[in-house]
Amino acid sequence: MQRRTLLIGMAAAMVAPTIVRAQGADELRIGAPLPLTGPLAPEGQKQKRGYDLWAKEVAKAGGFQVGNRRVPVRVIYSDYQSSTPRAVQACDQLVTQQRVHALFSPFGSGAAKASSAISERYKVPMIAPTASSREVYDQGYKYLFGTFTPNETLTEPLADIVMAAAPTIKRVAIFSRNDLLPLAMSAEMKKSAAKRNLESVFDEKFAIGSLDFASALTQMRSANPEWIFVGGYVNDLVQVRTQMRDLGMKPQILTMIAGPAYEEFTQALHAAAENISSASWWHPAARYKGADIFGNTERFVQKFQAMYSALPDYIEASAAAAGAILQLAALKSGSLEGPALRDALAGLDVMTFYGPISFGPTGQIEKLVPPVFQIQGGKPIVLAPSSIAQGEFRLGIA
């Protein structure tokens, strides 16, 4: 299994592998299992960029305060090659062999749910920056915390905006990757549609790794939906949209989650991305002033652009926020021990560049308001909430 280590600050001498950690450890070690290769590699690289930016800021500050000492940060990466069983194995090895004090979860709800048992078993806090499904958090675990609100917080405002713009539509089609987050998001979309008396005329899944969607899309086309909702990841959604165009499919509304927030999506599709609607958990148009190391949204965006020559998306922001949140918890607890960090995380109620951070009884973030957006002029334009809105909803696709 490929490992990459980012050492920030002074190096610490290695001791014999054990879960018991020495008191007064001289660095904060964080395990970060990621899909750096395989079909989820684009998403894994995004998480890594967020972690690396946060770690760089900690290094520039000379570490951060834990009790009466300053400590550096070491992020230990493990490539699980887009395989959930390997993600679970990576988490176990990071805890038992690398003796990490905390974990950043693997990408997505499915891998986060599977690996959270490792965090709970060893009493090592896990922050999940890319897991939104309630099923991840409804396991009764105490050491799992997530920075995404539940899926319905995206589908409900989306449905409100669509129905305000097209009140006469009646027929919706739902097409989803057979994976935990896309399935859960599609289930919430179906509920949101039913609440508004929309008829579900097509509701199908596609297998992970699928490349040919022509048969399913042809069936969908024959159902004549006015609104099409597709749940998946960026590579899936680019393929689906390309094949929709090839089949001449032009619904009034096309919504996709979660690819349209990424620059790679619009770069791959060009004009075919126009007017695709979506939602995410963060957008650079947000304006928050925080107590974290970045201080406010604008400063985070500037630092990200300086490091990567690109605007951050919600995955990159959430990953950086995971580090900033763990840093705030360590500052509050004065300790790097798992139970102390866990209690500090559970008690956080603080504003950050990412938004308000407080966790509910299950560990899922509570107060964040996700933005709804649409690709217009090749860029994501925020439609809601009204406090950061940049434009109005448009019907039709190219």
β-bridge partners, 177: 206
* Digit-coded pLDDT (tens) for 276-290: 999 999 999 889 999
Q: Which helix (H) or strand (E) holds 390?
A: none
Lowest model confidence (mean pLDDT) among 35-39, 190-194, 258-262: 258-262
> Cα(7)–Cα(382) distance, rounded to whole angstroms?
37
Q: What is the pLDDT of residue 26?
A: 84
- Same structural domain for residues 117 and 171? no
Judge if 263 and 297 occupy the same domain: no
Asked whether 77 and 99 are in contact (CB, 8 A), the reply is no
89 CB-near residues (< 8 Å, 6+ apart): 1, 80
- List C-alpha distances in Å: 287 to 8, 51, 311, 351: 29, 21, 15, 11
Q: Which residues of 187-198 are buried (b: 16+ CB within 10 A; e: fewer)?
A: bbbbebbeeeeb
Q: 398 pLDDT band (50/70/90 cuts)?
A: confident
Q: Report the amino acid identity of residue 361.
A: P
**CA neighbours closer than 13 Å in the CB half-sphere of residue 357:** 30
Q: Is residue 364 part of a domain?
A: no
CA pair distance 26, 69, nearest whole angstrom: 9
**Pair 7, 72 in one domain:** yes
- Whole-angstrom Cα distance, residue 136 to residue 331? 27
Residue 4 has pLDDT above 90, yes or no: no
112 and 169 share one domain: no
Same domain for 206 and 170 = yes
Q: Give the contacts of 186 (CB within 8 A, at least 6 positions apart).
A: 174, 175, 176, 203, 229, 231
Element (H, E) at 171: strand 171-177
Angle in degrees, 0-180, between the axes of helices 84-96 and 108-122, rounded to the nearest 10: 30
Least confident of 4-8, 199-203, 271-275: 4-8
Whether 317 and 306 map to the same domain: the answer is yes
CATH of the domain at 380: 3.40.50.2300
The Cα–Cα gap between 206 and 212 comes to 10
- Measured in degrees and rounded to the nearest 5, phi and psi for residue 347 equal -95, 0
Looking at the fold, whether 260 and 291 belong to one and the same domain comes out as no
Q: Which residues contact 14 (CB under 8 A, 6 or more apart)?
A: none
CA distance 46 to 64: 24
Which pLDDT tens digit goes with each residue over 32-82? Answer: 999 999 999 999 999 999 999 999 999 999 998 898 899 999 999 999 999
Same domain for 163 and 216, yes or no, is: yes
Cα distances (angstroms) measured from residue 329 to each of 95, 222, 340: 19, 53, 9
Residue-wise pLDDT tens digits, 267-278: 999 999 999 999
Position 294 in a domain: yes
Residue of 65, 138, 141, 16 whose CA lies nearest to 332: 65
**Residue 393 forms part of a structural domain:** no
For residue 321, give both structure tokens.
């926020």
Q: Do 131 and 46 belong to one domain?
A: yes
What is the CA angle 353-350-101, rounded to 5? 90
**290 and 239: one domain?**
no
Sequence letter at residue 314: Y
Q: Are residues 129 and 183 in the same domain?
A: no
CA distances from 388 to 26, 92, 383 (A): 42, 41, 8
Confidence band, pLDDT 50/70/90 cuts, at residue 30? very high
Q: What is the pTM of this model?
A: 0.84
d(CA 54, CA 323): 6
What number is the average pLDDT over the span 378-392?
93
For residue 232, being part of any structural domain is answered with yes
For residue 394, being part of any structural domain is answered with: no
pLDDT on residue 62: 96
Longest dimension (CA), the chain: 68
Q: Are residues 32 and 79 in the same domain?
A: yes
- Which letter, b or e, does each residue of 128-166 get, where b requires 16 or more Cβ atoms within 10 Å of its Cβ? bbbbbbeebbeeebbbbbbbbbbbbbbbbbbbebbbebe
Tell me, what DSSP letter sits at residue 380? E
> Given this model, what pLDDT does residue 14 score?
28
Give the three-state DSSP class for 321. helix
Q: Which among 360, 359, 264, 346 is positioned nearest to 313, based on CA atoms?
A: 264
Residue span of the structural domain in which 60 resides: 3-149+284-358
- List the one residue out of 254, 289, 257 whose CA is nearest residue 394: 254
Mean pLDDT of the chain: 93
Domain assignment of residue 213, yes or no: yes
Written as one letter, the residue type at 227 is W
Whether residue 397 is contained in a domain is answered as no
Beta bridge partners of 51: none
Residue 154 in 3-state DSSP?
helix
Q: How many domains does the chain have?
A: 2
More confident residue, 20 or 235: 235
